[in-house]
Copies of this chain bind each other. A is one copy, B any other.
């Protein structure tokens, strides 16, 4: 049976949504937007501190953090910045994209329980260099907590 034979080979349907191919440069349009939202938990902060070694007490020591201008523990800024990488690497443009640069302005703190949404918008497409410039902001509700911009290289069908 032909279908069974194809399954045996593990053959791939042309349109299989396997998450291995992102958008091509030709698929991008100015204004095209993608986002990723994640509720920041205490676990995320503890694990981020463990992985990176950033055990700044403003992230881990509630008694200390209460004495600061933040009045309690806040998440690592680079944790929310990681959500930008999630959008770029998995949604827009997605796998195949090469991350060239990122700038970040940390505008407001993120606290345990806040849901951060990273939103990426195509702002400029440079076909000759196969590059795109994207606005990469993170929000908690309507508040922009990180304002940023990134430059990526995007594969071309050509």
Contact with B along A104-137 (1 / 0, CB 8 A): 1110000000000000000000000000000000
Q: How large is the interface on A (under 10, 10 to 19, 20 to 34, 35 or more residues)?
A: 35 or more
Interface residues of A (CB under 8 A from B): 19-20, 36, 38, 44, 47-48, 50-59, 61, 64, 68-69, 76-79, 81-86, 89-90, 94-96, 98-106
Interface contact B106-A58, CB-CB below 8 Å = no
Residue in A51, A69, A96 with the greatest tally of chain B CB atoms within 10 Å: A51
Interface contact A85-B76, CB-CB below 8 Å = yes
Interface contact B99-A102, CB-CB below 8 Å = no
Interface contact A51-B101, CB-CB below 8 Å = no
The minimal Cβ–Cβ distance linking A131 to chain B, given in whole angstroms, is 13
Contact of A20 among B51, B57, B89 (CB under 8 A): B57
Residue in A59, A69, A81 with the greatest tally of chain B CB atoms within 10 Å: A81
Interface contact A106-B95, CB-CB below 8 Å = no
A19-B57, A20-B57, A58-B89 known; A52 and B83 CB under 8 Å? yes
Contacts of A77 in B (CB 8 A): 85, 99, 102
